[in-house]
Structure 1
């Protein structure tokens, strides 16, 4: 190995691949689950539920643009980790990784199980599908994705492209069927939209819960920060991908919800993560004052409401459930996050080393074909130089 060379990921992906990657991460099982929750917490008010989907799109756009600022200021893979470390220190960034380690695994498992259930259920029209085939199919899907990812990012590109096309086809068929039924003008299909806002309005806590349900379907909009080190010209690519995908997904989601309401009656279609979103918004505001020369995708004065509004919404999503319906599992969540300190204090702060730990780490890196790249100080300084040059014009 040439010790004079740095280890960094190649920037091989452009606008097209970034757009496809973002679509795959945003459009998931949430669109098949969230509509019932949005309608339920909006008190079966059809018109209000559609407005909530539009509001969620606006909030998602602001949150994604804030994530774009992080990815551009720190143009490397794992940008969110370096961002939190720079703003709040290694302990907070470690707890973020500690949470992600378990949340990401649980989310992947739940998505695989939902996909397996939707795939197998048509073969059992008169009863629920048995658990064993669903679990086996979900496990096979996780192994397939894991093996392809360990082979390299390019090897999984074809699977991502196929997933994008399949999701677009399914949602397109759902939307088209609903539009056809509306255009035919049958009374039972049109009457649900004639008095869309006549139902009672929800309380504030219910409205927040409805927004939370809608945001779940848009989750993943900030995923480009995790692969910023592999994108070509991230300063231009990340905002372009976001401003392409979010409006497109919004239109599709609205059409899908209209189709659901056209075919089905409302009765038939009936995190903790926000903590890190609040910290991210505080960190963005902090760096804007402390390091104003960092490169950003837009003018700071114009975009000031983005982190403020996103932080306010995230605080509401954290505090409103605690006030209106306190449960013990909120305490469990806090204890789980803080439990990461049991590992951080001895192994990171005091740098305690276990026997054979380094050998095991090296073996796992060779097995999964992964390596920690040289940290992005050079990349950040290079981005700062570009930002200063642009400021002169």
Structure 2
């Protein structure tokens, strides 16, 4: 046996209720409290925005079911990284993990942290936007607090997930009830000619979907922690269907309520929709919506941390990142080195970033890799039909989602090519250039070994085993 007896396993602690609240809790974050005005202004009309929200729910449901098959054929944590490694090979997998760790995960955390700050500060700066410096300091504070929580206890992170899920569902219930009351009083005037002014150009449709899909971000959370899930072959697809159906229903009702209370113009010009809604419906109690939306974003940030740290951890375990990132704390069994690394990168992205551009670049990059991942599912279905598949989807589903992903990557570029998208694409491709000297030929290994030993002692961590 030798040294293998010393290796640690991540525990299977997440059941079906935990699984549903992880997906729903990560999805229902800051998005629904901030994105509706962007979806509305990109789509141009209330009717079109409802179509976008419904389609976004459908797309994420289909993608989630395809991922459920991938998660049961390849029963390892690590999400896209592991699936791309199995199907497209090491270089593409490294390009993914390089982009994920340096662009996608920090962009996602930073976008959510900024909306947390936006809501927590809204009552103090009524009628005007908070200063950028204050906004970024509050966002940085939220990132650091959650990093500490996630390094200390998996159970505490789990508790935050469940508590904030309850708060955000209650907040959304208040918004929905308020909307129903207004509708019953006959306030339907904002829905007259509801498709008037729809934007039909490809670029606007793409951007509307980017913003809508940002609000559904997190639909693939469970694939990052498959090894910590009880009975993944049953619980993975079941949790996806239940959680995404619930979320889509909630989102449509919330948008209905926003539009019953506000005119489309008011909705588009609001910087924090839930607060504007709260002030119009709850009057002096409007600040409650601000607190609820802030807590909601906090829960979402927690879910992003939980899954993001684990991708870094799995990539290091496969030799694509320094060994130290593949270690877990000796007593707490949390992947703390990976979490600390993710936190530092997020704080760096926070310095120049603003919410809307962060969301657009995040979505562009994410759908590029979702497309590659699902092409891998097609490859496995056609070339490796003999692999055990406890759960299967019809082959048409991955084909449909790949078509959508291709549209989403090309849409903003076709009509309105911006130089930033070229930078992002070059950055993704630069992963291949970094891979050859540092990963393939393992340049400067001596220095890394010394650093690893020092950090291992300093952080009290040890290598962790796969939990199959």
**TM-score of the aligned structures, taking structure 2 as reference length:** 0.74
Change (3 A) 1:71 1:299: closer
1:323 aligns with 2:421: no
Alpha-carbon offset, residue 375 of structure 1? 4.4
Change (3 A) 1:294 1:317: same
Change (3 A) 1:341 1:361: farther
Q: What CA RMSD, in Å, does the superposition of the two structures yield over aligned residues?
A: 2.1
> Which of 379, 392, 401 pairs up with 1:286?
379
> Which of 205, 214, 217 pairs up with 2:215?
217
> Which of 210, 224, 227 pairs up with 1:226?
224
> Which of 310, 313, 334 pairs up with 2:425?
334
8 Å CA contact retained: 1:70, 1:80? no
8 Å CA contact retained: 2:40, 2:264? yes
8 Å CA contact retained: 2:21, 2:162? yes
Map of 1:313 onto structure 2? 404
* Structure 2 residue runs without a partner (length 5+): 269-363
Map of 1:384 onto structure 2? none
Change (3 A) 1:359 1:175: farther
- Distance in 2 (CA, whole Å) between partners of 1:95 and 1:325 is 26
Change (3 A) 1:9 1:366: farther
Map of 2:257 onto structure 1? 259
Larger mean CA deviation between 234-243 and 161-170 belongs to 161-170
Alpha-carbon offset, residue 227 of structure 1? 0.4
Change (3 A) 1:38 1:127: closer
> Which of 355, 367, 386 pairs up with 1:274?
367
Alpha-carbon offset, residue 211 of structure 1? 2.5
Map of 1:19 onto structure 2? 20
Alpha-carbon offset, residue 362 of structure 1? 4.1
Change (3 A) 1:296 1:106: same
> Which of 188, 194, 197 pairs up with 1:196?
194
Alpha-carbon offset, residue 363 of structure 1? 4.1
- Distance in 2 (CA, whole Å) between partners of 1:274 and 1:128 is 31
Change (3 A) 1:139 1:211: closer
Deviations 1:207-242 (A, max 9, x none): 333223221211110111100010001111111111
Alpha-carbon offset, residue 199 of structure 1? 4.4
- Distance in 1 (CA, whole Å) between partners of 2:129 and 2:208 is 28
Deviations 1:137-173 (A, max 9, x none): 2222111110111113222112111221121122111
Change (3 A) 1:319 1:49: same
Map of 1:56 onto structure 2? 56
Secondary structure at the aligned position of 1:269 is classed as helix
Change (3 A) 1:54 1:368: farther
Secondary structure at the aligned position of 2:446 is classed as coil
Map of 1:167 onto structure 2? 168
Secondary structure at the aligned position of 1:272 is classed as helix
- Distance in 2 (CA, whole Å) between partners of 1:41 and 1:127 is 23
- Distance in 2 (CA, whole Å) between partners of 1:211 and 1:168 is 23
8 Å CA contact retained: 2:42, 2:207? yes
Secondary structure at the aligned position of 2:188 is classed as helix
- Distance in 2 (CA, whole Å) between partners of 1:293 and 1:371 is 36
Map of 2:122 onto structure 1? 121
- Distance in 1 (CA, whole Å) between partners of 2:199 and 2:132 is 39
8 Å CA contact retained: 1:7, 1:373? yes
Change (3 A) 1:368 1:221: farther
Deviations 1:59-92 (A, max 9, x none): 1100111111221112222143222111111111
* Structure 1 residue runs without a partner (length 5+): 380-393
Map of 1:88 onto structure 2? 88
Alpha-carbon offset, residue 360 of structure 1? 2.1
Map of 2:111 onto structure 1? 110
Give the count of matched residue pairs: 371
- Distance in 2 (CA, whole Å) between partners of 1:369 and 1:225 is 27
Deviations 1:289-325 (A, max 9, x none): 222233435444xx21211111001101111222211
Deviations 1:15-64 (A, max 9, x none): 011111111211122112321222223222x2222122111111110011
**TM-score of the aligned structures, taking structure 1 as reference length:** 0.88
1:296 aligns with 2:383: no
> Which of 425, 439, 450 pairs up with 1:359?
450
